[in-house]
Amino acid sequence: MSQLAPDIPSRTANLINGEWLDVGDGHFTVVLDKYHGTEMARLPHATSAQMETAIAAASASRLALAEMSAGDRSARLEALADLLQQRDEALARLIVAEAGKPIGYARAEIARCISTVRTAAAEALRFGGEVVPMDFGAGRGRTAFTRRFPVGVVAAITPFNFPLNLVLHKVAPAMAVGCPVVLKPAPQAPLCSLALAGMLQEIGWPAGAFSVLVCGIPVAEQLVTDTRVAMLSFTGSDSVGWHLKRICGKKKVALELGGNGSVVIDHGTDLAAAAKAVAMGANLYAGQTCISTQRIFAVASVFDEFRDLLVREYENLVAGDPSDDSVTVGPVIDAHHFARISDWVAEAVRDGAEVLAGGSATDAARHVFAPTLLTNVARSARVSCSEVFGPVAVLERVENFEAALRAVNDSTYGLQAGVFTHHIRHMTLAHEQLEVGAVIINSAPGFRVDSMPYGGVKDSGLGREGLRYAMEEMTEPRLLVF
């Protein structure tokens, strides 16, 4: 078998109930190196019968997981973290190839993966219920407490942009609480998920408790609708996420969806530092994160100075080969999204937008789009009101800080927002008024630590990820009164 990297066997099969199966329904997903366009793997699409096998095995594995102590689950997670650490550079190179992520950012993703798994290992030991006070009235003389029990089989559907860490944000908390997982990875970048499956075999995780299936939409929807599946955990586009919620039935649902992350630039802040952070936040990994900076609102008194500083920072960004340490902006994930981004920018310009930086491809053959900054953009333009998921941001002048907050809220999304301010009152006002899952002060909205509660409101999602918070989503409290 060919090797993707020295420590990672190449996988060209689905893992179903502990078996690698290289025969499917006759259709295949071809995984390409996103910069060079060369074929990395050809993966069979799982059949409906294979999905049935995976779900049945996951359901049956609940007994084996229930017999594992919290200490056992924590030890397996620590063993997984050790494997990730041993193979960190090989995994980073795999992310560069299959996801087109710049190597520095890919290495940072692997570091986060290790932190994610070690945090889950620690949380497995301290996760529990609570004592419920009721020694009064009808409860006089009684004691009550809750224990949290795993909900059962989790259907995990993940995106391409963090092909290992966002998988682990579903798998690691499920392992910590004892939930089996059936994973459907992103078709653009499934190889990290298959590498993870191999590592779970190495640490001795029960065979049926983790399956990975590359499959078409009907088989994926079979996973979502099956009544033996207790929870759907989905990360991806808002249109797909809300559709899956509609069809999934009575199961628990956690949705981490899109955004068009906003930044507010207040007067009195360090404009040079803010410009550097915003330029990076809008363009790192070609803007292909759901908390990438997309809408920038600068108060009128600092707009001109901030605009000039921001354009200068844009000029310093390097686009090109993601394996190059100097590159910030690599390729867009595929031809479809490259064309969409190009069309949206052209549409905005036709309707009167001014191009401050970029505006076109730097290497169309390799799907590299220039870091692009627009201004005077119509509110109805898709680069403003929709999620670009590309290296495109819009900068607009607002009268004052309160007007900036209103502009941020004028969106169907509400994931995270960044606010650059040195005024305590403005910080608290932003926290009180912004309709988002998190307000990040003096940083771009792309800030995330893996243990923090992460998720959004409005079209940006439902529920929270972050290890302990995901573990709560994947368990139910059961009360004992005596």
Q: How many CA atoms lie within 13 A of 350 on its CB side?
A: 9
Q: Which H or E run includes 247?
A: helix 238-247
Pair 112, 204 in one domain: yes
Pairing mode, strands 19-21 and 14-16: antiparallel
Pair 146, 226 in one domain: yes
Pairing mode, strands 28-32 and 39-44: antiparallel
Three-state secondary-structure class, residue 300: helix
Give the model confidence (pLDDT) of 330-371 as tens digits.
Answer: 999 999 999 999 999 999 999 999 999 999 999 999 999 999
Pair 224, 266 in one domain: no
Pair 211, 326 in one domain: no
Q: Kindly report the CA angle at 321 between 317 and 327, in degrees rounded to 5?
A: 25
- Detail the DSSP E strand segments found in 213-316: 229-235, 252-256, 261-265, 293-299
- Residue 455 CA from chain centroid, whole number: 10
| Assigned domain for 146 exists | yes
Give the model confidence (pLDDT) of 158-187 as tens digits.
Answer: 999 999 999 999 999 999 999 999 999 999
DSSP type of residue 67: T
| Assigned domain for 53 exists | yes
Nearest to 65 by CA among 481, 449, 475, 465: 475
Sheet order of strands, 229-235 included = 19-21, 14-16, 210-212, 181-184, 153-157, 229-235, 252-256, 461-462
Joined tokens for residue 152 = 């059962």
The DSSP bridge partners found for residue 413 are 458
Supply the pLDDT for residue 10.
Answer: 66
Give the model confidence (pLDDT) of 283-303 as tens digits.
Answer: 999 999 999 999 999 999 999
Pair 126, 156 in one domain: yes
Q: 4 pLDDT exceeds 80?
A: no
Catalytic, out of 109, 123, 256, 472: 256
Are the CB atoms for 430 and 420 separated by under 8 Å? no
Three-state secondary-structure class, residue 196: helix
Task: Compute the average pLDDT of residues 2-8.
Answer: 53
Joined tokens for residue 109 = 């993703």
- Of the pLDDT bands very low, low, confident and very high (cuts 50, 70, 90), residue 239 is very high
Are the CB atoms for 466 and 451 separated by under 8 Å? yes
Supply the pLDDT for residue 313.
Answer: 98
Q: 6 pLDDT exceeds 60?
A: no
Joined tokens for residue 256 = 């981490």
Q: Is 202 designated active site?
A: no
Question: Measured between alpha carbons, how far is 374 from 202 in angstroms, rounded to an integer?
Answer: 49
| Assigned domain for 294 exists | yes
Pair 32, 170 in one domain: yes
Give the model confidence (pLDDT) of 451-465 as tens digits.
Answer: 999 999 999 999 999
Count of beta carbons in the 10 Å neighbourhood of residue 250? 7
Nearest to 428 by CA among 403, 449, 401: 401
Catalytic, out of 290, 465, 472, 473: 290
The CATH number of residue 345's host domain is: 3.40.309.10
| Assigned domain for 265 exists | yes
Measured over the CA atoms of residue 477, residue 136, residue 126 and residue 455, the dihedral's sign is positive
Question: Measured between alpha carbons, how far is 331 from 364 in angstroms, rounded to an integer?
Answer: 9
Supply the pLDDT for residue 243.
Answer: 98
Quickly list H helices, 290-380. 303-315, 335-350
Nearest to 266 by CA among 225, 238, 296, 311: 296
Q: Is 256 designated active site?
A: yes
Pair 273, 225 in one domain: no
Sheet order of strands, 438-441 included = 354-357, 372-375, 392-398, 293-299, 261-265, 416-420, 438-441
Count of beta carbons in the 10 Å neighbourhood of residue 246? 8
Q: 5 pLDDT exceeds 80?
A: no
Pair 415, 465 in one domain: no
Q: Which H or E run includes 52?
A: helix 48-60
Pair 332, 248 in one domain: no
Q: 393 pLDDT exceeds 70?
A: yes
Which domain covers residue 331, as residue numbers?
A: 261-449
Question: Measured between alpha carbons, how far is 64 from 205 in angstroms, rounded to an integer?
Answer: 10
| Assigned domain for 133 exists | yes
Q: 47 pLDDT exceeds 90?
A: yes
Task: Compute the average pLDDT of residues 190-195.
Answer: 98
Least confident of 10-14, 90-94, 228-232: 10-14
Supply the pLDDT for residue 23.
Answer: 96
The pLDDT mean for the chain works out to 97
- Of the pLDDT bands very low, low, confident and very high (cuts 50, 70, 90), residue 389 is very high
Largest CA distance in the chain: 75
Question: Measured between alpha carbons, how far is 86 from 266 in angstroms, rounded to an integer?
Answer: 44
Question: Measured between alpha carbons, how far is 296 from 394 in angstroms, rounded to an integer?
Answer: 6
Pair 72, 194 in one domain: yes
- Of the pLDDT bands very low, low, confident and very high (cuts 50, 70, 90), residue 1 is very low
Joined tokens for residue 381 = 């333009």
Task: Compute the average pLDDT of residues 312-316.
Answer: 98
The pTM (predicted TM-score) of the whole model is: 0.96
How many domains are contained in the chain?
2
What are φ and ψ of residue 369, in 5° steps? -110, 140
Supply the pLDDT for residue 241.
Answer: 97
Supply the pLDDT for residue 217.
Answer: 97
Provide the percentage of residues in the chain whose pLDDT is more than 90.
Answer: 98
How far lies 456's CA from each of 102, 185, 255, 461, in Å?
Answer: 26, 22, 9, 5
Task: Compute the average pLDDT of residues 10-39.
Answer: 95
Supply the pLDDT for residue 3.
Answer: 44
The CATH number of residue 159's host domain is: 3.40.605.10
Supply the pLDDT for residue 310.
Answer: 98
Are the CB atoms for 447 and 427 separated by under 8 Å? no
Nearest to 53 by CA among 202, 225, 212: 212
| Assigned domain for 455 exists | no
Supply the pLDDT for residue 11.
Answer: 78
- Of the pLDDT bands very low, low, confident and very high (cuts 50, 70, 90), residue 9 is low
Which tops the pLDDT comparison, 12 or 6?
A: 12
Pair 193, 278 in one domain: no
Are the CB atoms for 219 and 95 separated by under 8 Å? no
- Residue 448 CA from chain centroid, whole number: 10
Q: 2 pLDDT exceeds 80?
A: no
Task: Compute the average pLDDT of residues 204-233.
Answer: 98
Question: Measured between alpha carbons, how far is 118 from 174 in angstroms, rounded to an integer?
Answer: 14
First to last CA, the chain: 60
Are the CB atoms for 46 and 215 separated by under 8 Å? yes
- Of the pLDDT bands very low, low, confident and very high (cuts 50, 70, 90), residue 8 is confident
Supply the pLDDT for residue 329.
Answer: 98
| Assigned domain for 81 exists | yes
Task: Compute the average pLDDT of residues 90-119.
Answer: 98
Query: DSSP per residue over 268-281, as a string?
Result: TS-HHHHHHHHHHH
DSSP type of residue 147: E
| Assigned domain for 454 exists | no
Pair 83, 14 in one domain: yes
